Amino acid sequence: MIPRRQFLATGLGAAWAASGCQPAAHANAHIQGGFTGVQPERGHWLRDGVQGGKGWPTPTRTLKTRVLIAGGGVAGLAAARALRLQGMNDFALLELEDSAGGNSRGGEIAGLPCPLGAHYLPLPGDDAPEVQDLLEELGLRTRVAGRWQYDERHLCHSPQERLFFNGEWQDGLLPLQGVGADTLAQYELFARLVEQARKTARWTIPVQKTALAPVQHALAATTFIAYLDQHGLNDHHLRWYLDYCCRDDYGAGIATVSAWAGIHYFASRHGFHAPGTEGAEREGLLTWPEGNAWLTRRMAAPLGERLHTGRVVVRIASARHGAEVDAFNTATQTLERWQAQRVVVALPIFVAARVVENPPEFLRQASRQIAYAPWLVANIHLQSPLHDRPGAAPSWDNVLYDDARGQGGLGYVDATHQSLLSTPGATVLTHYRALGDFSGDAALGRKRLLERPWGAWRDDTLSDLSRAHPDLASKATRMDITRYGHAMAIPTPNINGQIGLQPPSTVRKQLLKKEQDTARPGLTWERLAFAHSDWAGYSVFEEAFTAGHGAGMHSTNHPTP
């Protein structure tokens, strides 16, 4: 919850204090809802076993396919698409949840679509041609008079973003209203440092496609906050903004992520522009009411019966003459055994290390290094528009300034913003909260995420957003909350300057020697191809999709060992 000092500073908090009363949870009792979207107990079966800890049953049937994909997130769906594009249809995809999409799935409340996780995609650059091809296939990107154009219906409509700061809304997310000359000078200094970094190294997404420069390895060995200290960047407004950016993209703040990650956020995309300078406008991005589920649903639709949901992959074994995958069917409560020539392991690294039998050393090491950010996504249905404070107009992305960095939420997006309704009406606000550095420990954040009851998270969310919208609770009718215990890999510093969790290039060349394909990004071992954004060390659509596409291409273009 927000600190008492800040809560009392709001009109609603002051009124409660003046009356001698404290806000009661029952004041929100009219707001119904619950946890939805993800079933954590399925993943916990891998840790605790099923049937009261008695272990897994004997397989009741055996199925065969040429390629098996374990995991139906963006990487797994991209691998399936790559197989289809090559005319190879003898494959199956196993997904833990009841629908594919991973962190890019969507839902709806009262008939209004809303995201359950990732909610936008920046326009991909030329370093991500695989993603560009997908957008072209889906009709989002077309060539007109020799130039690429994006369908304006799916580009984020203006106004795009605003910040609640000093009691009113301002355009953009960088704190501006009432800040002093010293703050503006630090904005300009950081802009120069980012531009210098862009000139001394190549910053790309996906990161694994480009040879990294010494300066990038040096930045990867220290924290972002140490980098800011080194350059005298101590302004609390700048630090709040950079902390917000890191928590928004990486699930943890400037004291946790690497300096490489902090600079990469800007240098790989739009740069950082001080107020009033050329190019200060944000880049274009694609978004939909249901978030990135718009993409993953279209990737999953052609799979038909090849998509098997509600499957807990419990064992993957690679042998000389084939691979075996055991998966628990949550609907029938039976164990299925799949036999395949190759397996695409599109699972988070910590899961892959647990289920791959006799895992290679690079997988063991990666699982020991990785840290995951827990996330909470709350979808709040409003029966009528909120009363707005002075300043900038309601936007797609709405963020609240919070001095208590790391404790509050990340604001909200409006699910009906893209509809261009002439008269505002009922809507769904999607509120995000990252817990990757809760009390300095992601494991504590995960414990808090999963153990706190829904009502406590409901009240925290309302308290957070009511600073800007005192009428929120009275107009909310329902709040559905989705919890991700291991939502994304946090790009923490590595003492050897390694970026991502792939083994050193010399080891990768040895692993790929039989295939003679060191140019294609990806990682293989025996009959397994690993594909997940975890291997890049941070979680974005482009990394996951490119890794999955490469694994799918590899699984058909190379002979079995």
* Interatomic CA distance for residues 98 and 85, integer angstroms: 25
Domain that holds residue 520: 42-98+309-367+495-557
Residue 107 lies in a domain: no
- Whether 471 maps to a domain, the answer reads yes
**How many distinct structural domains can be found in the chain?**
3
Q: Is the pLDDT of residue 2 over 60?
A: no
pTM: 0.90
Residue 501 reports pLDDT greater than 70: yes
> Is residue 57 included in any domain, yes or no?
yes
Q: Kindly state whether residue 54 falls inside one of the protein's structural domains.
A: yes
Residue 73 has pLDDT above 60, yes or no: yes
Specify whether the CB–CB gap between 247 and 434 falls below 8 A. Answer: yes
Is 349 in the same domain as 404?
no
Q: Are residues 33 and 78 in the same domain?
A: no
The answer to whether residue 303 is domain-embedded is no
Same domain, 457 and 540: no
- What number of residues does the chain have? 561
Nearest Cα to 289, choosing from 105, 180, 418, 407?
A: 418
Task: Give CA–CA dist 319/334, Å, rounded.
Answer: 24
Tell me the pLDDT band of 53, cut-offs 50, 70 and 90. low
CA angle 53, 55, 56 (to 5 degrees): 135
Q: Are 372 and 445 in contact (CB under 8 A)?
A: no
Edge-to-edge strand list for the sheet holding 397-400: 32-35, 476-489, 372-382, 427-434, 412-414, 397-400, 161-165, 168-171
Residue 324 pLDDT level (bands cut at 50, 70, 90): very high
CATH of residue 47's domain is 3.50.50.60
Residue 393 sits in the same domain as residue 428: yes
Q: Is residue 304 pLDDT above 60, yes or no? A: yes
**Measured torsion, CA atoms of residues 106, 111, 112, 116, in degrees rounded to the nearest 10:** -20
Q: Are residues 438 and 502 in the same domain?
A: no
Query: Does 29 share its domain with 66?
Result: no
What does the pLDDT average to over 78-84?
A: 97
Query: 144: which strand partners?
Result: 147
* pLDDT tens digits along 234-248: 999 999 999 999 999
Interior/surface letters 37-64, b for 16+ CB within 10 angstroms, e for the rest: bbeeebbebbeeebeeeeebeebeeeee
3-state secondary structure of 529: strand
Q: Is 538 inside any structural domain? A: yes
